[in-house]
Amino acid sequence: MEVVNLNDIIIDYLKSPEYEKLKSFNPDVEVTTNYALDLMNISGSAVHLTKTIMNLISNASEATTKGGAIFVNTQNQYIDRPVKGYDDVKEGDYVVVEIKDSGTGISSEDLGKIFEPFYTKKKMGRSGTGLGMSVVWGTVKDHRGYIDVQSTEGKGSIFILYFPVTREKTIKEQTAIILEEYKGRG
């Protein structure tokens, strides 16, 4: 675990070869991002968080028809009373990542099973192992976070991830060069 910023993780993934490959399979799907400029940091594993974002965007892309859209949003959120959803969210300060698609949606009977290992609606051998959503679940839980899922068949899905904030700074923030410290005095 290290101090990370989820904006950086998402931005890095959207520049990666894995994302470029995904785009080549679904060129008509538009990904739109909205990053909180003041997004707080979390304590986490950049590798596991990247895999989580990758799995959610990949699933959203596969579920989205031609000309569809995926929206990725980050924000800081204070929860002052528990939130009931797929996973109950306790009070506290969180970094929230929302990944929303305009895809086919998830049926109510499937919604309760999507995080089970090897549960999949994909054609085996074509796109994945059926472990992607269990990786998402495991990563969120390993980071002491929560997950909520809302979906309507034919209208799309939204996955909302809540990660507890840390007040610590990332390595990048700690090593930022302050120009004033290096200026001469006349």
Q: Side chain identity at 57, as an amino acid letter?
A: I
Structure confidence by residue, pLDDT tens digits, 154-163:
888 999 999 9
Note the pLDDT of residue 130.
55
**Above 80 in pLDDT, residue 132?**
no
Q: What is the DSSP letter of 70?
A: E
Q: How confident is the model at residue 175 (pLDDT cuts 50, 70, 90)?
A: low
C-beta separation of 144 from 55 below 8 A: no
Confidence of residue 127 (pLDDT cuts 50, 70, 90): low
Between strands 30-34 and 146-152, the pairing is unpaired
Tell me the per-residue pLDDT of 64-108, one tens digit each, with 9 for 90 and over. Answer: 877 789 999 999 999 888 777 777 788 899 999 999 999 888 777
**3-12, 96-105, 112-121: which is most confident:** 3-12
DSSP secondary structure string for all residues of 96-144: EEEEEE-S----HHHHTTTTSTT---SPTTTS--S-HHHHHHHHHHHTT
Q: What is the mean pLDDT of residues 7-29?
A: 92
| Boundaries of every domain in the chain | 2-182
Assign domain 2-182 to a CATH class: alpha beta
